[in-house]
A and B are shown apart, each in its own frame.
Chain A
Amino acid sequence: MTGEPRWLHGLRQSQVWRSVFRSGVPVLPRERHAVVVSNVFFHVHPLRMRAASLRLRRTFCLGGLSFLAFLVLTASGVLLMFHYRPTPEHAYGDIQDIANVVPFGRLLRNPHRWSAPAIVILVIAHMARVFHAGAFRPPREFNWVVGVLLLVLTFFLSFTGYLLPWDQLSYWAVTVGANMAAAAPVLGHLGPLALAGEDSDVRALLLGDRAVGASALLRFYVLHCVLVPAAMGLLLAMHFFRVRRDGGVLAKY
């Protein structure tokens, strides 16, 4: 580039730089194409997008906002994990410490705690928008199914996360929820057509014991932090890919 200082020019010609950045700043469409397809972070995005698809009233950005909330939850959640121990002795105290002792703890905890209902509302609004726009019609039916699965997982994340503060609300909410699960058909020991006994129905597997206790806390923690987010990540990848493949948000539904 003309006008750049000598040292910068030298830097740009160095082997280290050229091994990381294989081309210069792209200008031509062909150059820009090359950069996108040869970069692992760029290549999961579309090559180009129509500027008009940013028009607000088409989607109100609800899907995007939901994903933003998901990212906020993931980032804040991972950082919260550094200061939280999922045992009955420590759980409540650790969260108090995060809120009152740990530097910037409240800045992590509060967005996490509030993004949870936010993502539920956004996801439901997104679902309503998709429905009203008819964006579930063929060939998009399967993506709607994936979306419903994502909805269920979102609810389950909320439910499992709710136990982790280990306060009165947590304990009784999960007691009630688990007792309702016991009344489910087939999988619950109190429901119709029950297949499993009290010690092996879905309630027993969720709680890991007769009642909510240390086992339940640990299981919910693993579900909340590892299993369900991993499943959601997989489904989200499928969900986004299908939207793009079917023409993006500007397409005719």
Chain B
Amino acid sequence: MTRDLEEAHLLEADDPRDAGRRRVLTRIGWAGLSMLAVASVPALFRFLRPRAWRDRGETVELGPLEEYRTSTVSARWVQRHGLWLVRRAGRLVALEARCTHLGCTPRWMGEQGGFLCPCHGSRFSDDGIPLNGPATQPLFRLAIRVEHGEVVVDRSVRAALERAERDRRFYVSI
């Protein structure tokens, strides 16, 4: 048994002509492994990215304008589209239901309560101005228009209160 091993060893004795080939093959091997390793980084990143990305740039239809003539604040679409429709001083505006502090969804507590954020207690008036709490900026407004009697809001277009008050894209008369 030992004799066979010795003979096998002799047969595999290093021939100097093999050195170059071995070097090339080794380098190809390492290059291949390195490429795999490098490629796995963006692969992992893409693997972890969100699968579905609901497009927020939607224009949403919110029903006939008539339905909003009687209410002051309509919380009908908060769950689905993240906005309130607020009727005030002859105008209907779409307020984005996202607290300007850290992004939680406030809740409409009625005339006396305003919008109250559950996370840190920020309170906003019915036109989105912060009354107290850590939030300092007013709630954002979304582009709103009426098409064939239907209220249509474009959620990808938003503006801060000061600009929205003067910009026709951010309110409709009601």
Residues in A lying within 8 Å of B, measured CB to CB: 168, 172, 175-176, 179-180, 199-200, 204-205, 207-210, 215
Q: A210-B50, A215-B50 are in contact. List 13 more A-B contacts (CB 8 A).
A: A168-B118, A175-B104, A175-B119, A176-B102, A204-B49, A205-B49, A205-B50, A207-B50, A208-B48, A209-B50, A210-B53, A210-B56, A215-B51
Interface of B, secondary structure class, is loop
- Known contacts being A176-B119, A210-B54, is A205 close to B103, with CB within 8 Å? no
- Known contacts being A168-B118, A172-B119, A205-B48, is A179 close to B103, with CB within 8 Å? yes
Q: For chain B, which range describes its interface: under 10, 10 to 19, 20 to 34, or 35 or more residues?
A: 10 to 19
* Cβ proximity bits B105-137 to A, threshold 8 Å, 1 near / 0 not: 000000000000011000000000000000000
Residues in B lying within 8 Å of A, measured CB to CB: 45, 48-54, 56, 102-104, 118-119
| Cα separation A215 to B52 with both chains bound (whole Å) | 10
How many pairs of residues, A versus B, come closer than 8 Å at their CB atoms? 40
Residues of the B chain whose Cβ atoms lie less than 8 Å from the Cβ of A176: 102-104, 119
Interface of A, secondary structure class, is helix
| Cα separation A210 to B49 with both chains bound (whole Å) | 11
Q: Would you list the 7 A-B pairs with minimal beta carbon distance, nearest first?
A: A179-B103, A176-B102, A172-B119, A208-B50, A205-B48, A199-B53, A179-B102
B49, A200: Cβ atoms under 8 Å?
A: yes
Residues of the A chain whose Cβ atoms lie less than 8 Å from the Cβ of B54: 209-210
Residues of the A chain whose Cβ atoms lie less than 8 Å from the Cβ of B48: 205, 208
| Cα separation A182 to B167 with both chains bound (whole Å) | 29
